[in-house]
Amino acid sequence: MAVAAVAMAAPLTLGAAGDAGAAGDHAIVFARYTSAAPVEDLYAIAPTGGTPVKLTHTPAVSDVMPSWSPDGKRIAFLRYGSGGAVDGIWTMKTSGAGLKAVPGTKGASDPAWSPDGKRLAYAKPVGTQREIYVADIDGSPATRVTHAAGDDLHPTWSPDGKYLAFNRADASGHSRLIRMRLSTLAQTAITASGSHDWAPDWSHGNRIAFSRVDSSGYARLYLVRPDGTGPHRITAARLNDKNPSWSPDGTRLVFTRGGADDADPEHLFLVRADGTGLTQLTKSDSHDLEADWRP
């Protein structure tokens, strides 16, 4: 895969107090675009706020869907653009050095790093639908682990690395959460058919956060146990809340809150797992998406 036209990421350096924390411990990485700069780049911001640090500078390609490695030293992400010459999952150090393409991931999305730091799960097209694959960080061997009708997206690992959860979208437009045991590939539904659930994230405290379009017509954040018990809503704004990511200690979530249509800005917010303590983290006229909280 050609990379000559792709700019290297800028070094992620610690700045003065009040800078993005400059991405100090447990920084939050996310994708951003604006109406003036419609190509996405990756940014990092401290959970305490401040000015985001731009991690990638790629005017010809988009960098999206970041995922921290368990040791916090590398980021996996999707890079695409340049007329199709660049398309797939990449990893890089937070300094921008060590940029590597993951072979065999053309058309892939939703990378998720395993708890042991050795593997990636991701979604990839198979015919007219998307399936979940698991591969070593070097791309091999890539093993397809789902074979069901419908689109399987947004894999997330259990803390012990034995399970994946993901959302399965069907032809009717519904999407439910599924849990899979990797040793047997046995699957169990977490949420009911007829739901509109997607983008799960599995915490170290063994809870799964996800977005659900409920009877309000808006996407809200919900929590559920991996066995499907105890589902409950934790946000209730007349806005769309999506792509939750747990803090390392499992007490808070970062997520994207957007307006009623695509023309409105989308910002990052923080909320406690009990639904209290809502805080707006980013405030510029931008679309801030797909945040991932550093372990």
Q: Residue 271 is part of a domain; what is its CATH number? A: 2.120.10.30
What percent of the chain is predicted at pLDDT more than 90? 77
CA atoms in the 13 A half-sphere facing the CB of 155: 31
The residue type at 46: A
Q: What is the four-CA torsion angle of 88, 92, 97, 99, rounded to 10 degrees?
A: -20
pLDDT of residue 283: 92
- Structural domain range at position 168: 106-293
In a domain, 92, yes or no: no
What percent of the chain is predicted at pLDDT more than 70? 90
> 83: Cβ–Cβ under 8 A, 6 or more apart, which residues?
none
> Is it the case that residue 1 has pLDDT exceeding 50?
no
> 36: Cβ–Cβ under 8 A, 6 or more apart, which residues?
none
In a domain, 284, yes or no: yes
End-to-end CA distance of the chain: 30
**Dihedrals phi, psi of 97, to nearest 5 degrees:** -80, 170
Length of the chain: 295
pLDDT of residue 260: 61
In a domain, 253, yes or no: yes
- DSSP readout, 222-246? EEE-TTS---EE----SSEEEEEEE
pLDDT of residue 261: 63
Identify any residues that bridge with 228 across adjacent strands, giving them in sequence order. none
What are the Cα distances from residue 277, in Å, to 67, 253, 269, 272?
25, 10, 10, 6
CA atoms in the 13 A half-sphere facing the CB of 196: 14
> Is it the case that residue 24 has pLDDT exceeding 80?
no
How many Å separate Cα 272 from the centre of its chain?
19
In a domain, 70, yes or no: no
Average pLDDT, the chain: 89
pLDDT of residue 262: 61
In the chain, the number of structural domains is 1
In a domain, 167, yes or no: yes
> 234: Cβ–Cβ under 8 A, 6 or more apart, which residues?
220, 221, 222, 223, 253, 271, 273, 274, 275
pLDDT tens column, 129-187: 999 999 999 988 899 999 988 999 999 999 999 999 999 999 898 999 999 999 999 99
In a domain, 138, yes or no: yes
The residue type at 6: V
> Is it the case that residue 12 has pLDDT exceeding 50?
no
How many Å separate Cα 257 from the centre of its chain?
14
pLDDT of residue 157: 98
Beta strand residue intervals within 170-234, DSSP E = 175-181, 186-189, 197-202, 208-213, 219-224, 232-233
Confidence of residue 23 (pLDDT cuts 50, 70, 90): very low
> Is it the case that residue 219 has pLDDT exceeding 60?
yes
Identify any residues that bridge with 242 across adjacent strands, giving them in sequence order. 256
Query: What CA–CA distance (Å, rounded) separates 172 from 45?
Result: 38
User: Mean pLDDT lowest for which of 81-85, 117-121, 291-295?
Assistant: 81-85
> Is it the case that residue 10 has pLDDT exceeding 80?
no
Give the burial string for 12-27 (b: 16+ CB within 10 Å, else e).
Answer: beeeeeebbbbbbebb
pLDDT tens column, 246-282: 999 999 999 999 976 667 899 999 999 999 999 999 9
> Is it the case that residue 22 has pLDDT exceeding 50?
no
Please tell me whether residue 152 adopts helix, strand or coil conformation. Answer: strand
In a domain, 26, yes or no: no
In a domain, 72, yes or no: no
